[in-house]
Homo-oligomer: A and B are copies of this chain.
């Protein structure tokens, strides 16, 4: 606790005033009852909201710089999954006490990522209570063009960015658990623990990729709850089935991290045949399967197909479905 009593506005003002971007489309920012913002003509508003709870979404005692980064990153990832351009963020911070060092580091993690994406912090409140970080990000997308989960059609190719599975392996490493063997080599626990941990602590929202996909992808979702589970959601929203080529998955993390691990914030998206060549030329994306008629998710390994656990069923051991366990 600081010796100075800090009011709600004073706290935001003190730690966040010089963080994030300055934007001309902010007519009125932090410090009034709300923010006044100017959306570009011809664009739809994109609104996302995600909350991190201490001990649920990150281990208690986590590096506050990582907590600040992740609280914004998970929301930027939702904007990315719709092909949007993030513009403004609001922060609702519930804190058990005012710890200046914690707040400085949290604000740096949040603010550096905001600055990197040109996002202005335009509102916020602080309250006393168990550590909970609520973030909303507002952005825009050309009218009528926002990517959805529901646009996949039979025959579309399935792609993913990055290496989903790494973050769950990193979390396991941070928690001191072994998560088993490399899903491809059968060898022991990964040697790249530090790299995996960094993927959990400082995930990269794929904002530029999402924007590049606007004219290319038929459907898109971000991988927050696990590859199989999120693919199931995309397939169900699209009224289709999906086949996942397990051998094509790019992560070296243990198998169940790759299939069911959350927290990667990569983009999982579908592409009509005519546009597959254009997408395959993008950096950092891998073709990992296809969309078919039917329903559910199948795994294809060594030429054989098996049904994966349905998205409506319980999540895997590393998958996040907070009320299912």
Contacts and interface: CB of A to CB of B under 8 A. Distances in A.
A225 B323 CA distance: 34
Nearest to A98: B323
A53 interface: yes
Nearest to A123: B49
Residue among A31, A57, A136 with the highest chain B CB neighbour number at 10 A: A136
Contacts of A6: 323-324
A137 to B, nearest CB: 8
A141 B36 CA distance: 9
A264 to B, nearest CB: 14
A170 interface: no
Contacts of A233: 9
B5 A81 contact: no
B132 A33 contact: no
Interface in A41-98: 41, 44-51, 53-57, 77-79, 81-82, 84, 88, 90-92, 94-95, 98
Which range holds the interface residue count of chain A?
Answer: 35 or more
Copy number of this protein in the oligomer?
2
Contacts of A37: 44-47
A149 B267 CA distance: 42
B39 A39 contact: yes
Given A34-B78, A36-B146, A41-B41, A122 B47 contact: yes
A44 B322 CA distance: 36
A125 interface: yes
A117 interface: no
Interface in A155-183: none
Interface in A238-276: none
Instruction: List 6 tightest A-B contacts by C-beta distance, closest first.
Output: A53-B129, A34-B48, A134-B134, A5-B324, A33-B81, A130-B130
Interface of A: 5-9, 11, 27-28, 31-39, 41, 44-51, 53-57, 77-79, 81-82, 84, 88, 90-92, 94-95, 98, 122-130, 132, 134, 136, 138, 141, 143-144, 146, 148-150, 220-222, 233, 237, 312, 314, 321-325
Given A35-B47, A49-B136, 7 more contacts: A27-B144, A33-B48, A37-B46, A49-B124, A53-B127, A53-B128, A55-B129
